[in-house]
Amino acid sequence: MSSHQALLIIDYTNDFVAKDGVLNCGEPGRKIAPNILKLAKEMYQNDDWIWLPTDVHKPNDPYHPETKLFPPHNVRDSWGRELYGDLKNWFEEHDDKEQVKLFDKTRYSAFAGTDLDLRLRERQIDTLHLVGVCTDICVLHTAVDAYNLNYKIVVHEDCVASFNQAGHDWALGHFKDSLGAEVV
């Protein structure tokens, strides 16, 4: 593959999106589902890389800082950690393809404690398209690390959502004004 772009679909799981998800971001999170799926299909057709960094936890982990902040969520092998909606089906159909990969992350940033930077550089990827939830938490922290590692960042505004509109709006401005990201 010769694409220098990757789509990162961040934390688009039942616990963060479904109505009965433990930490769901409400209707805004569900509303972006068709946009994320459409973008994944388009980028896949263009031979771009589609990666799904997905939050994973152990319940009540005394060593994880989120344990003090949030109820147990995205527990390994649980319904809550499954991809939300039609994205789950799309992923299952493409899981065996080299350009599609789901990987665990245990911190807000998809780079923290993972080999993401190494894998991107191996493939000469220089541009990251960011989508998913939450705009002002995991998408933001991934964008900050991507910026510090010199990646070009594209945030798809109709493919990100958060718990609250103020945080969402602030993060969109921060992407543009402080990280030089292209918000499309």
The pLDDT > 70 percentage for the chain reads 99
Number of domains in the chain: 1
Res 128: pLDDT: 98
Element (H, E) at 143: helix 140-148
Give me the CATH number covering residue 99. 3.40.50.850
The parent domain of residue 35 ranges over 5-183
pLDDT digits (tens, 9 = 90+) for 40-90: 999 999 999 999 999 999 988 889 888 889 989 999 999 999 999 999 999
**Rg of the Cα atoms in the chain:** 15
**Peptide bond before 134: cis, by omega within 30 degrees of 0?**
yes
Whether pLDDT at 1 is above 60: no
